Amino acid sequence: MEPLRIGVLGAARIAAAAIVEPARLTGARLVAVAARDQTRAKAFATEHDVERVLDSYADVVADPEVEVIYNPLANGLHGPWNLAAIAAGKHVLTEKPSASDAAEAREVRDAAARAGVVVMEGFHYLYHPVARRLLDVLASGEIGELRRVEIDMMIPPPPVGNLRWSFPLAGGATMDVGCYGLHMHRALAPLAGGEPRVVAARAGERAGNTGVDEWLDADLDFPGGATGTVRCSMTAPENRMTARIIGSRGEVSAANFVLPHRDDRVTVTADGAERVEELGRRPSYAYQLEAFAGHLRGGDPVPTDADDAVATAELIDACYSAAGLPPRPRTRL
C-alpha cells in the first residue's frame, strides 16, 4: 500500500507512542509537524524524523502533501481542529474523545460526511488481540450469557496545572481515562442486546478546578439485562486498567486492556477451570494505524469511526449529567 502521509498537530508526549512508533512500524510518513513552541516542534522533528517543521497548526492542515491529520491536542481542541482538518479535505486520526460534547461530535461527523473524508477516533485498544479476545470469548459462549461488566480506569494524578485539569479545555477523569471504560461497554453492545445506558453516576470535583471530575463511578445496564460499572480516577497511587466480563458460566478478564504492550494477559475461567493466555505485546497503536491505512487504501471497516464517536460522546455526557456535573464546554479557535 502507498504509505499514509501524516501531519502532526503539536509535540505532545503521547505522540511518540501513538503516532511516531506506529508510523515506523507500518511504514507511514510523518510529513509535517507544528507546535505552539517552534523550538519544541524542531526538537520533535529531529528526534522522530519528521520531514519538515511548519509555522502553525493551520499550515499543517493546509499542506497539500498531508493527507491525514493526527490530532493529539488538549481535549477541548480536538473538535475545532478536527473540523478545520475536515474543511481542508483531510482525513483525521484524533485522540479520544473526538469532541468536547455530543453536539460537537455530531458536528464533526456531519462535516466529515459532507466532505467525504474519514474521522477515526483513537480508541486504539479495540484493535489489539487482547480486546478482540475479550469479545471473542464472550461471543463463543464459553462463559455463557453476559451478566456483568466491571472496568477500572485509574491513573496517578497529573501535575498541578496540567491541561487535563482544565475545565475550559474539557478536562476531567471521564474524558481522559473513563471514556475507555465506557467505550468498552459499547463494544459489547452486539452481545448484550444493544447499547448500554447510564443508570447512575457519582463524581468528585478537583479542588480548585470547578466542574472537573478527579474521579467518577458510573453504573450502566444493557437491554439484555446485564449490568456494568466504570470506575475512573486521576488520583490513584498507580495505573490500573482492568476489564472483567462475567457470564453465566464463567468470566474473562484482561490485566491491562488499554495498554496491552505492558501486560497482554487474558484470563479465562469457565466451568471451574482457569487458563491464562498471552496475546502479544505489539503496540495497540500500531494495529490502529494499520486498520486506518487498510480503510483508506482498501475500504476495510473501522469500528471507531465518526458515528461511533458520537455514541461514545453521548454516553460521556450522560455520565456527567447523572453525576451532577456540567458537560464539557466547547473551545472556539
Q: Tens of pLDDT along 278-297?
A: 999 999 999 999 999 999 99
Work out the percent of the chain whose per-residue pLDDT is above 90. Answer: 98
The whole-angstrom distance between residue 210's C-alpha and the CA centroid of its chain comes to 24
The Cα–Cα gap between 143 and 246 comes to 7
Q: What's the rounded mean pLDDT across residues 95-100? A: 97
Specify the 3-state DSSP secondary structure of 19: helix
Q: Tell whether the model's pLDDT for residue 177 goes beyond 90.
A: yes
The Cα–Cα gap between 204 and 156 comes to 15
The Cα–Cα gap between 15 and 301 comes to 24
Sequence-ordered list of residues with C-beta below 8 angstroms from that of 203, at least 6 positions apart, any chain: 174, 213, 215, 216, 217, 320, 323, 324, 325
Residue with cell 460522546: 313
Tell me the pLDDT tens digit for each residue of 9-49. Answer: 999 889 999 999 999 999 999 999 999 999 999 999 999 99
Q: Is 263 in contact with 255 (CB distance < 8 Å)?
A: yes
Q: Tell whether the model's pLDDT for residue 1 goes beyond 90.
A: no
Do the bridges between strand 91-94 and strand 119-121 make them parallel or antiparallel, or are there none, so unpaired? parallel
Q: What's the rounded mean pLDDT across residues 234-258? A: 98
Q: What's the rounded mean pLDDT across residues 191-200? A: 98
Do the bridges between strand 5-9 and strand 29-34 make them parallel or antiparallel, or are there none, so unpaired? parallel
Please, what is the Cα angle at 111 between 119 and 298, to 5 degrees?
35
Q: Tell whether the model's pLDDT for residue 332 goes beyond 90.
A: no
Q: From 70, 253, 256, select the one nearest 155 (Cα to Cα).
A: 256
Q: Tell whether the model's pLDDT for residue 191 goes beyond 90.
A: yes
The Cα–Cα gap between 84 and 111 comes to 10
Q: What's the rounded mean pLDDT across residues 244-249? A: 98
- The whole-number pLDDT of residue 132 equals 98
pTM value is: 0.97
Q: What's the rounded mean pLDDT across residues 194-205? A: 98
Rounded alpha-carbon distances, angstroms, from residue 181 to 124, 167, 185, 196, 250: 13, 21, 6, 12, 21
Helix (H) or strand (E) holding 246: strand 240-247
What's the pLDDT band for 304 if we cut at 50, 70, 90? very high
- The whole-number pLDDT of residue 265 equals 98
Do the bridges between strand 227-233 and strand 209-221 make them parallel or antiparallel, or are there none, so unpaired? antiparallel
Q: From 251, 247, 306, 290, select the one nearest 115 (Cα to Cα).
A: 306
Rounded alpha-carbon distances, angstroms, from residue 329 to 36, 212, 224, 317: 22, 11, 34, 11
Sequence-ordered list of residues with C-beta below 8 angstroms from that of 228, at least 6 positions apart, any chain: 148, 149, 150, 151, 185, 196, 219, 220, 221, 222
Sequence-ordered list of residues with C-beta below 8 angstroms from that of 315, at least 6 positions apart, any chain: 182, 185, 186, 196, 198
Q: Tell whether the model's pLDDT for residue 333 goes beyond 90.
A: no
DSSP symbol at 177: I
Q: From 82, 67, 71, 19, select the one nearest 45 (Cα to Cα).
A: 19
Q: What's the rounded mean pLDDT across residues 263-272? A: 96
- The whole-number pLDDT of residue 259 equals 97
DSSP symbol at 289: H
The Cα–Cα gap between 122 and 174 comes to 15
The Cα–Cα gap between 66 and 125 comes to 26
